[in-house]
A and B are shown apart, each in its own frame.
Chain A
Amino acid sequence: MKYFKVIGVAAAFCLAIILSSTLICHAYEDTQCFQCHTSAKKLIEATREIAKTRPALKSAETSGEG
């Protein structure tokens, strides 16, 4: 009977750990960051929008080997 109690407590402990880590994963998978940055479609739309307004980042005058 004593062994059953120990095994029961250990099992509950492991279950709690597994559930909590799953919950953490789910918590961050639900964020807007994750939703958008794992969607190629959303990123293509956003980067196209950025490209319309973004000024050039590199000078065309650069020449030669760096």
Chain B
Amino acid sequence: MEPLAPHEKIFVDSDIVDDENHGEIACHECHGGNPDDPNWKTAHKGVMKDPTYPDATAACGDCHDEINENYQKSLHASLRPYKLIMDERASSNTVIRNKLGCAMDTHCSECHSSCGQCHISRPNSVEGGFLDGHLFQKKPPMQEVCTACHGSRIQKEYLGEHEGLLPSIHKKKYMKCDKCHTGEEMHGNGKDYAHRYDVENGPKCVDCHKEIYKRESTNVITHRIHKDKASCHVCHSQPYNNCSACHVGKDKQGLAFFKTKSSWVDFKIGLNPLKSEKRPEKFVTLRHVPVDKKTFDYYVKDALSNFDTLPSWKLATPHNIRLKTKQNANCNACHGNESLFLLEKDVEDNEKEANKNVIVPVNLIPKRQKWQPK
């Protein structure tokens, strides 16, 4: 993504007056400030850079009332799963929890979105800047909005930026994020979800690939045999990015920073930590997420004293899908292939307890097959 010069970030395209929906709304009606003051320094007193965050009611609610109401609970705005996960890992000590809350406000809460930060500008977390001269974008552009935040994992996987790996077949079909992740999903439906995989209108492979279990379908046997046993990604993902320990703090100037240890590309099948009616598979792909027991040590020691309650290898849906992959080349490319599975030896000693429910015991690895379907 090309960085924008400071003036480019705030340059308004005069064509906005031709926008039949938004063109008649004066700047100060949303942003505040004094539109008659010729001195820009004083004119900007009280200006809201993003009048749609944290509450978009005044700016968008009059016309987009339903979206506005639901959006408050959309995960992009509420960040609820982040908070719940950290709450679960956090110490029960109230003083420590309060300090952890402050640290999360400083470091984690920055990564949110809003109406404005999808449809008008790049997200704040990547330093903002209008997408197209403040012209309203019905569909947010993928690389300036979606992958601007979801870069190190989704972008690299989807576009095939990891050395030796191919882009997702969906990219090759010219699909953008919104093809699967619809506006309805992004805006939320008013329900408070605890996890992004709980979202009811989130994408499912079978929404498009409806035929895979039908008799006349290619590979019907393979699909039927593996139904509810392995997620689609287990067979169709390529290796993907994994991140390690993220540590946060403030520098001498008081500016917030984060440091992550090296990331690595790998592919690991583990036991499904989020088994449900919607996701009944026994085996899923797991990704190591950038957290460890000392992530918040700068702010307070032992903040995550209940770290072991949740795995640090989490259910993942890598965005680098291919029809043919190394592990689905034939049955025994996967069956009996220990290197594909998350075994105890693959997990760091201090994370073994946290991941005990997702580590695959050797005796659960599917046995090598003598018979193979044609």
Taking Cβ atoms with an 8 Å cutoff, the residues of A that contact B are 21, 24-25, 27-29, 31-34, 36-38, 40, 43-44, 46-47, 50-51, 55-66
CB of B225 closer than 8 Å to a CB of A:
no
Q: How far is the CA of A58 from the CA of B251 in the complex (A)?
A: 10
Given the known inter-chain contacts A25-B17, A44-B7, please indicate yes or no for A59 contacting B26, CB distance below 8 A. Answer: no
* A interface, over-half SS: helix
- 25 residue pairs from A and B, CB less than 8 Å apart: A28-B26, A29-B14, A31-B27, A32-B36, A32-B43, A33-B26, A33-B27, A33-B35, A37-B11, A38-B13, A43-B10, A44-B7, A46-B7, A47-B5, A47-B6, A56-B255, A59-B256, A59-B257, A61-B255, A61-B257, A62-B259, A64-B260, A64-B263, A65-B241, A65-B290
Check A31/B36 contact, CB under 8 A, given A59-B251, A60-B251.
Answer: yes
Answer whether residue B163 sits at the interface, using C-beta atoms and an 8 A cutoff. Answer: no
- Which residues from A are CB-within-8-Å of B262? 64
In contact, A58 and B255 (Cβ under 8 angstroms):
yes
Q: Which residues of B contact A27 (CB under 8 A)?
A: 26
B250–A33 touching, CB < 8 Å: no
Check B11–A43 contact: CB distance below 8 A: yes
On whether the beta carbons of B261 and A64 are closer than 8 Å, the reply is yes
Q: Does B363 contact A (CB under 8 A)?
A: no
- If the complex has contacts A40-B7, A46-B40, A66-B152, are A34 and B257 also in contact, measured as CB distance less than 8 A? no
B256-295 CB mask vs A (1 if < 8 Å, else 0) is 1111111100000000000000000000000000100000
**Which 5 residue pairs are nearest across A and B when measured between Cβ atoms?**
A64-B260, A59-B257, A59-B255, A47-B6, A43-B7
Interface presence of B23 (CB below 8 A)? yes
